[in-house]
Amino acid sequence: AQTVTQSQPEMSVQEAETVTLSCTYDTSENNYYLFWYKQPPSRQMILVIRQEAYKQQNATENRFSVNFQKAAKSFSLKISDSQLGDTAMYFCAFMKPSNAGGTSYGKLTFGQGTILTVHP
């Protein structure tokens, strides 16, 4: 079974500064997907960024980037130029690739979450 660990229950950052959220995971799979989701107080789960394990290049989406270290099973999220709207709970999640005869797509294993507060 896969496990995802987020060791930082809470983080805070000043507006316009950079913050990094940590995530480690455990799996015996060689190919898989990793995600960072944002959940604001509205509770809508919003995809921030996605990384495919077979891709060596780290994913980036505007102000969001990841540091994917496959051997270390580490997947951290860096938020640059933090904005007040980034205040939310952030979840790291793992997903196996589709299995033969069916689909594993959509079966996510989440970490415990990190509450990020951006201060003005």
Partner 1 sequence: ETGVTQSPTHLIKTRGQQVTLRCSSQSGHNTVSWYQQALGQGPQFIFQYYREEENGRGNFPPRFSGLQFPNYSSELNVNALELDDSALYLCASSSDRIPGNTIYFGEGSWLTVV
Give the 3-state DSSP-derived string for the chain, with helices as H, strands as E and coil as C: CCEEECCCCEEEEECCCCEEECCEEECCCCCCEEEEEEECCCCCCEEEEEEECCCCCCCEECCEEEEEECCCCEEEEEECCCCHHHCEEEEEEEECCCCCCCCCCCCCEECCCEEEEEEC
Q: Say whether residue 25 binds partner 1 (CB under 8 A).
A: no
Name which position in 86, 91, 116, 118 contacts partner 1 (CB under 8 A): 91
Q: How far apart are the first and last CA of the chain?
A: 41
Kindly tell me which of 85 and 120 has the beta carbon lying closer to partner 1: 85
Task: Report the C-alpha gap between 17 and 14 in whole angstroms.
Answer: 6
Residue closer to partner 1 by CB (options 42, 71) is: 42
State which residue, 62 or 71, has the beta carbon closest to partner 1: 62
Site string for partner 1, 46-85 (x = CB under 8 A): xx--x-x---------------------------------
CB of 46 to partner 1, least distance (A): 8
Q: Return the residue of 43, 57, 71, 120 that touches partner 1, per CB under 8 A.
A: 43
Query: In the complex, which residues of this chain contact partner 1 (CB under 8 A)?
Result: 4, 37, 42-47, 50, 52, 91, 98, 102-113
